[in-house]
Structure 1
Amino acid sequence: MASMDLRTEHRQTQTLSPRLQHAVRLLQMSSLDFAAMVRDKLGQNPFLETEEGDDGEALPGADDAAERESDRDSEPQELDGIAGNEAGDDRDMWQGDTAGSTRRAEDGEISAMEMMAVETTLNMHLHEQLGVLPLAHRDLMLARAIVESLDDDGYLRTPLEEVAQVLQLDPPPTLVELTIALKRVQSLDPAGVAARSVAECLQLQLGKIDCPQMRALAERIVGQHLQTLAAKDVNGLAHQLGETPARVEAVCDRIRRLDPRPGWHFGSTQVAYVVPDVLVRRVRGQWNVQLNPAVVPKVRFNQVYAELFQRHRSAQNTEMAGHLQDARWTLRNVEQRFSTILDVATAIVRRQRHFLEYGPMAMKPLVLREIADEVGIHESTVSRVTNNKYMATPIGVFELKYFFSRAMISANGSACSATAIRGLIKDIIEAERSESPLSDAEITRQLARQGLVVARRTVTKYRQMLKIESVERRRRHS
């Protein structure tokens, strides 16, 4: 019979404090996200300040500010008025308020805000087209309701019945009216907008195909064999349609040039640029690794405010005490983050210097544990450091994790990295004759003759990673 009893047990476990968890998250951030976080801290924490201003000059401290205030009080009032007027003129020049813009337009001047391009969204583009159509008020309201129901891809994911519920029209719109409004929106630019499925989106764009026979075959493929098209089974499509593989392949190529997401051409035009965290240069035969000054936040501890707070500290100032502790932790995290990135990048360059000198063929096998043992940190820390961190080298910009690849043993027992094999596959394909391209099996045999035993499916995977087409498509293009 089971009995119930109480007993004590000693167990040692490892837990992460909230501060340590926060430091781990900061280490995993990209440089842009980390810089945004530091800017938020600068705006919230009075104990943090930037080391340099926007003009590159060091920001003055509290003593300098007080001295500048006394100097300004001793200056004539006329100088203050002139400076104030100049500052006001500058603000008026760059402010984009309505009153200022109207006044400058009357004076014949153009403000900087008026010269900025206005971002055109998909909804704006469609509403502009609806505005010039000779539609009745009810029909225009139905079409605009459908436009407002589109998602970012340009698809109508909402059922027409739910669109009708949003409209407060009397009498309520019927399904026939909503269908007509949908067809009217689908006739607008870009082609394929307001589709309810991928097949419908492609069908709305088939009118771009000039050849009637090719357009008819494309309609059959999109309407009845879309899954086979997605699987790129040309022979299977040719058998099902009773057409030659060459003709089916030509039609499939034309279908693939259609846009399955017409809404992506509108909206935000911002480009996310890659900012390298580490700069690698060769100086006097040695590889020099240094942090990119552009990504290191120029933040420092405001010692004047800290001393004033310590001098007048009381039990009621708990919020300021929290800011003081958070400022110290922020500076410590900044220093620890970039010192760890620099140590890991230096260790990577030390092991992959042949890659920097001779290219991908000289890439050595490398795993996270090797760098972790050399730097003296945990393997998971190396994984976080190499994620979303980039290195600028004389041969290009690479993510830090690009330098890690598993080892593949050759016939003579030596190790070769997967990156080197991909580079070798690329060289083999570039050296092939255009009239007789090599298949993946033939590439596998060539690698075996060079002592590299690689499976054919591995060659296929590496070829796809290099974005190189299959042998059939390369032969057809040649």
Structure 2
Amino acid sequence: MKGSLRLSLSQKLQQRLSPLQMRFVRLLEMNGLEIEDEVRRELDDNPALEVADTPAIEGDDDFNESAEDLQLADYRDEDEIPSYRFEANNRSADDDFYEPVAVADEGSLGESLTRQLSETDIDARDLQIARYIIGNLDDNGYLTRTLTQILDDLAINAGIDVPMEHLREIVGRVRALDPPGVCAYDLRDCLVLQLRRMPRSDIRDLALEIVEHYFDIFSLRHFDRLASMLDVDRDRLREADELIRSLNPKPGGQIGDSAGDEKSRHIIPDFNVEVDGNVVTLSLVNNVPELTIESSFVSDGNSFISVAGSSGEHKAARTFINRKREDATEFIELLRIRQETLYKV
């Protein structure tokens, strides 16, 4: 057998982000509140970082109360102030005015399922077991523990001994609640639960057979193979696919996302834009203070190192001081670049 050596030359172009670039991207993705929390966390973790002393602006202590503030000061406390003092209606008589309407909250997924169970003929002991099962559902409605683990938890934590068959019955009662698909073991089981709750039809039965017995092939989108194995044409297979795709893979996510939650969400802007004629003023809306290096870390850090001690201790101390100073300098620079980038955007 003859051996041969081959020499090949290939050229690849790869782009990799350095750790500093990754950290900058993470800071750039944060909103105003998140960047404030990040600054506070960095101030707590890094002793080389401190808030810069900003000089007081001349005239800050001057009297600047408005006439409205003076009128409100005539009352002893806020409870005595009439409600109309806090209202301002700058609309014209032709404008539509809508009063805010309180919206009843649906509650969490666990509260919704427990309320549905309470309306059935379930006894107190089974209701306690069902609540324990519901407590092991995640936000999407999936069961996070196996039945064996739940059985052990009930015996150890709650002191309830229940046969496995009876536990399966109670799990089945939870799985029969709304929304369809809750208390599923996995995605395939979630889709099966939803399909079984639908009215029977040829397409529904085909979709159920696909999910129950050919889910792996369906997940890979091998429709030709599916059509051959099921002996169906592509049109019926396409209708079954559309039905499966219309199901909700996260049934628990739709509970607790009511109109009241939508109304209570406040959008906090990152920018404040003021237009005065042809002049546009742009400012960042956050409370990030100006940061600087702590005075003890500005030099080489000898103020932290005592005269006594071994040279190894001195070296370790200098390494610690230099590392913290470099981290603080890097963080200050990243904040500056982030602000410049936002302004450019």
TM-score of the superposition, structure 2-length normalised? 0.58
Q: Which residue of 1 aligns with 2:210?
A: 221
Cα distance in 2 for residues equivalent to 1:336 and 1:165: 54
Aligned residues: 258
Q: What are the within-5 Å matches in structure 2 for residues 411-422 of structure 1?
A: none
Aligned mates of 1:199, 1:128 — CA distance in 2: 27
Q: Is the 8 A contact 2:191 2:211 kept in 1?
A: yes
Asked if the contact 2:154–2:160 (Cα under 8 Å) also holds between the matched residues in 1, the reply is no
CA contact (8 A) 2:180 2:251 kept: yes
1:166: how far off? 2.5
Cα distance in 1 for residues equivalent to 2:270 and 2:32 = 13
- In the other structure, the counterpart of 1:179 is 168
Alpha carbons 2:32, 2:285 under 8 Å: kept: no
Gaps of 5+ in 1: 1-20, 50-59, 73-77, 95-111, 280-289, 303-314, 316-325, 346-390, 392-478
- Report if aligned partners of 1:48, 1:299 keep a CA contact under 8 Å in 2: no
Separation in structure 2 between the aligned mates of residue 87 and residue 330 of structure 1, nearest angstrom: 46
Q: Is 1:26–1:34's contact at 8 Å kept on the other side of the alignment?
A: no
Q: Distance in 2 between matches of 1:254 and 1:225?
A: 15
Between the aligned partners of 1:82 and 1:278, the Cα distance in structure 2 is 34
Are 2:130 and 1:130 equivalent residues in the alignment? no
SS of aligned partner of 1:251: helix
Partner of 2:320: none
Contact 1:300 1:331 in 2 (8 A): no
Query: Is the 8 Å Cα contact of residues 106 and 112 (structure 2) preserved in structure 1?
Result: no
CA distance in 2 between counterparts of 1:185 and 1:256 reads: 24
Which has the higher relative contact order, 1 or 2, with Cα contacts under 8 A spaced 6 or more apart? 2
The aligned residue for residue 28 of structure 2 is: 30
Q: Determine which of 203, 225, 232 is the counterpart of 2:192.
A: 203
Selected match of 1:264 from 215, 228, 253: 253
DSSP 3-state at the match of 1:36: helix
Question: Quick one: percent identity of the two aligned structures?
Answer: 23
Structure 1 residue 235 displacement after superposition: 2.2
**What is the Cα deviation at residue 218 of structure 1?**
2.2
In structure 1, what is the Cα distance between the partners aligned to 2:332 and 2:80? 37
Secondary structure of 1:293's partner?
strand
| Aligned residue identity for 2:152 | Q
The CA deviation at 1:332 is 6.1
**Displacement of 1:125 after TM fit?**
1.4
Q: Distance in 2 between matches of 1:234 and 1:333?
A: 50
* Cα root mean square deviation, aligned: 4.9
CA deviation profile, 1:274-313 (whole Å, cap 9, x unmatched): 978899xxxxxxxxxx9x93645466669xxxxxxxxxxx
Answer yes or no: is the 8 Å Cα contact 1:155–1:196 preserved in 2.
yes
**Structure 2 match to 1:384:** none
Tell me the amino acid that sits aligned with residue 195 of structure 1.
Answer: A
- Verify: 1:166 aligned to 2:167, yes or no: no
Distance 1:151 1:64, change over 3 A: same
Match of residue 154 from structure 1: 141
Amino acid at match of 2:126: D
Change (3 A) 1:87 1:138: closer
8 A contact 2:27–2:35 mirrored in 1: no
Counterpart selection for 2:132 from 138, 142, 145: 145
- State whether residues 154 and 263 of structure 1, in contact with CA within 8 Å, keep that contact through their aligned partners in structure 2: yes
Could you report, residue by residue, the CA deviation over 1:32-58 in whole angstroms, capped at 9, with x for unpaired residues?
435532367589877578xxxxxxxxx
Deviation at 1:197, TM superposition (A): 2.2
* Structure 1 position 231, deviation (Å): 2.0
